[in-house]
Structure 1
Amino acid sequence: MLLEVGSNIMKFYEYLLRRTDGRVKDYPLMQSPVQMTLILLGYLFFVLYAGPRLMANRKPFQLTSAMIIYNFSMVVLNAFIVYEFMMSGWATTYTWRCDICDYSDSPEALRMVRVAWLFYFSKFIELMDTVFFVLRKKHSQITFLHIFHHSFMPWTWWWGVTLAPAGGMGSFHAMVNAAVHVIMYFYYGLSAAGPRFQKFLWWKKYMTAIQLIQFVLVSVHVSQYYFMKKCDYQVPLFIHLIWIYGTFFFVLFSNFWIQAYVRGKRLPKPVSHQNGVKAECPVAANSKHLENGTLAHGNGSTQNGKVKEV
C-alpha cells in the first residue's frame, strides 16, 4: 500500500516537472515545489515554536529603523510590480474579460512571466511581517488566519507560476493585491516612524474599505468566466480558487467593518501602532487585525489580505 502511494506521488511529481513552464525553470525557487515548501515549513516552525521559545526570556526588540526601511521598501517593490503587470498586458493588450495565458516567447509574454514570478517571490519577503511580530513579542497578532494567509499564498502561487505564468485573467487579482499593498505598506511605514506621524494617519478606517473594494473587484472580474458563452482560459481551476479566496476574505473584512465601524467596537490597540507592519485580516472573534494583502495584502492577508493580501 505504501509503495503504491509512493509510486503515485513520484508519478505526479514527474508529471508536474514535465508541465512546468520552460520559461520559469531557471528562476529561483521554481525548480520544484520542495524548496518553497521547506521554506514555508521553516517559517511555521520559527513562528509557532522556535521564535516564541527564543524570545521567552528576552525583552522585545524595538526594530523601529528596520520596520521603516522594510515597509517603505515594500511600497517601492509593490509599485514596481503593479507597473510591470500593467505594461505586460493589463494596460496594453488585455480586454479585461477572457484574457488567456500567452505561452509564446514574445517580449510582452516574457515580461509577464517575470512579474508573475516577482509577485510570487514578494510573498516570501512578506513573511517578515510575522517575524517582526515574534521579535517584538506581539504574539496576540499571530493568529491562525494570519499564518494561514502568509503560508498558503506563496504555496499556491508556486503552482500558478509553474502552470500559468504568462498572465491572463488569472493575474488580475495579483495586480490589484500589489496595488493595495502599496497603500498598506505606506500607511504602516508612517505608523512605524513614530508618534509625530500619527496626525497623518486619520485615514486608517479606510484601509478596511480599500480591502473590501479589492475583494469586490477581484470577485467581479473573475466571475465573468461563469457567464461567458466561451472562455478558453487554460487553467480554469485557478479561476475557481481565486473566486473562493476573494469571497472568503470579503466576508471576513465585512464582518470586521461591521464590528469596528457600524457597532462601534473599535480596536483598543491597533496592530499598526504596535508594530508598524501591516495587518491584513480581521478576526470576528476578537475584532483584531491579523495582518494584507494579502492580506495581505492585503497582504493579509489574511492579505494579504493579504487578509494578504492580500
Structure 2
Amino acid sequence: MVDQSQLVFPVYLYDYFAKGYEAASGIPAASFTYIRGVTPLSTNLEAFSLMVVYLTIIFGGQWVMKNFKPIRANLLFQVHNFFLTIVSLGLLLLFVEQVYPMYRDHGLLFTICSDDAWTQKLELLYYLNYLTKYYELVDTVFLVLRKKKLEFLHYYHHSLTMILCFTQLNGRTSVSYVPITLNLLVHVFMYYYYWRASCGVRIWWKKYLTLLQITQFIIDLGFVYFCTYTYFAATYYQFLPNMGACAGTESSALFGCLLLSSYLLLFLQFFGKTYTKPAPAVKKVQ
C-alpha cells in the first residue's frame, strides 16, 4: 500500500495499471523481469529483423500502390491516432508517478545516474514503451496506403527510435526516462493533432508541434551528453571534473548520443525547409 502523503496524483495509477496488465497478460506486473534472449523482442536478431521487415513493407507497399488508387481508411486512421494519444498519455503519467518521488527524495542526479533508479516497475514501463514503437510503425503504413510521400526523416526516425529504446533497455540507462517522457509528451500532442485533423478539424499549431520536437531533442541531448561525459570522465579520465559514473553500458550511451544528435539536425533541417520562407528577391533599380 502506498503512503497517501507520497502520492503524485490523487490515486496511485500504477495499481490500476497492474490490474489491467495482469488481466491482459495473465502475469502479475510485479513478476515481470526483462531478460535478454528470453523476453519477447529482446535480441538483436528480432529487433533488426523487424526493422528490415518494416522497410521492406513500406517500400514494397509503395511499389504495389502504384497500380491502385489511394486508400483513405479514415476511420481506422482516426482510431489509430486516438488510441496512441491515450496510450502515450497513460504511459507518461505512469512514468511521472514513478520518477518524481525519486527526484523529490534523492535529487536529479540520482534519477539519471544511479543504478537504483532502474526499478522493476520502471523496467516494465520501459519495456511497454519499447513495444509501442513497433505499433507506431503503422503510421507509415497509412502513408503508403494514402500514397503520401515518404520523407527520409519519417522512416529514419520511426525505425531507429525502436532500436534506440531497445538499446537503452538492454543497457539499463537510468537517464532513459528523460527522452522517453519528453517523447511521450510530444506524442500526446502529435497523435491528438492527427486524430483531430483526420476528423476534419483545422489545427493551427502544427508548426509549434515541430518546435516542441526540436526542444525535446535539445533537452534530451543536454541530459545524455552530461551522463555520458561524467561516466567516461569518472571511469577513464579522473583528472577531469565529473559527478561520478552513471548507470548504463558505454555502447548504449554512445548510440543514444549519436542518434539523438542526428534527430536534432534532421528536425532543424525539416523545420527550415517547411516553415522558413526564403526572403523575396530585391529588384535592382536601373
Fold conserved between structures, TM > 0.5: yes
1:31-70 equivalences in 2 (<5 Å): 32-49=43-60, 51-70=61-80
Distance 2:45 2:256 in 1: 23
Residues 1-33 of structure 1: CA distance to partner in whole angstroms, max 9, x if unpaired? xxxxxxxxxxxxxxxxxxxxx921354322x33
Quote the residue 1:253 is aligned against: 267
The answer on 1:176 being equivalent to 2:191 is no
RMSD: 2.4
Question: What is the percent sequence identity of the aligned residues?
Answer: 25
Asked if structure 2 preserves the Cα contact closer than 8 Å seen for 1:81 and 1:119, the reply is yes
Post-superposition Cα deviations, 1:63-84, rounded to whole Å, max 9, x if no partner, equal 1111111011101111111112
Q: Choose from 118, 126, 129 the match for 1:116.
A: 126
Deviations 1:18-75 (A, max 9, x none): xxxx921354322x332333322221111112x1243232211111111111011101
| 1:230 matches 2:238 | no
Shift of 1:102: 4.0
Residue among 168, 173, 187 paired with 2:193: 187
Deviation string for 1:185-219 (max 9, x for gaps)? 1111111112xx11xx1112211111111011111
How many residues were matched structurally?
Answer: 230
Tell me the amino acid that sits aligned with residue 96 of structure 2: M
The answer on whether the counterparts of 1:96 and 1:169 sit within 8 Å (CA) in structure 2 is no
Going from structure 1 to structure 2, the CA distance change for 1:255 and 1:145 (only over 3 Å counts) comes to: closer
Query: Please, what TM-score do these two structures have when normalized by structure 2?
Result: 0.72
CA distance in 2, matches of 1:48, 1:86: 38
CA-CA distance at 1:103 after TM superposition: 6.4
Match of 1:240 among 237, 254, 258: 254
Matches within 5 A, 1:1-310: 23-25=33-35, 27-30=39-42, 32-49=43-60, 51-89=61-99, 91-94=100-103, 95-97=107-109, 99-100=112-113, 102=115, 109-138=119-148, 140=149, 142-164=150-172, 168-194=174-200, 197-198=201-202, 201-225=203-227, 226=229, 228-263=242-277
Distance 2:88 2:189 in 1: 9
Q: Which residue of 2 aligns with 1:278?
A: none
Q: 1:252 and 1:148 mapped to 2: Cα distance?
A: 10
Q: What is the alpha-carbon distance in structure 1 between the residues aligned to residue 258 and residue 41 of structure 2?
A: 26
Deviation digits for residues 240-286 of structure 1 (CA, Å, limit 9, x no counterpart): 33333333222222233334434359xxxxxxxxxxxxxxxxxxxxx
**Considering only CA atoms, is the larger Rg found in Structure 1 or Structure 2?**
2
For the 8 Å contact 2:115–2:247, the answer to whether it is kept is no
Matched-pair contact (CA < 8 Å) for 1:170–1:239: no
Indicate how the Cα distance of structure 1 residues 66 and 33 shifts in structure 2: closer, same or farther if over 3 A, else same: same
Q: Is there any run of 5+ residues in structure 1 with no aligned partner, and where?
A: 1-21, 266-310
Secondary structure at 1:202's aligned position in 2? coil
Distance 1:57 1:255 in 2: 33
Structure 2: gaps of 5 or more residues: 1-31, 231-241, 280-286
User: Which structure features the higher share of helix residues?
Assistant: 2
Separation in 1 of the partners of 2:271 and 2:62?
31
The answer to whether the Cα contact below 8 Å between 1:170 and 1:238 also exists between their aligned partners in 2 is no
Deviation at 1:161, TM superposition (A): 1.6
The worse-fitting range, judged by mean Cα deviation, of 92-101 and 109-118 is 92-101
Distance in 2 between the 1:81 and 1:216 partners?
22
Counterpart Cα distance in 2 of 1:64 and 1:181? 20
Distance verdict in 2 for CA 1:218–1:127, change over 3 Å: same
Residue type of the alignment partner of 2:44? P
CA–CA separation in structure 2 for the residues paired with 1:124 and 1:55: 22
Deviations 1:83-111 (A, max 9, x none): 1221222x11033335335469xxx8111
TM-score by length of 1: 0.67
How far apart, CA to CA, are the structure 2 residues paired with 1:137 and 1:258? 24
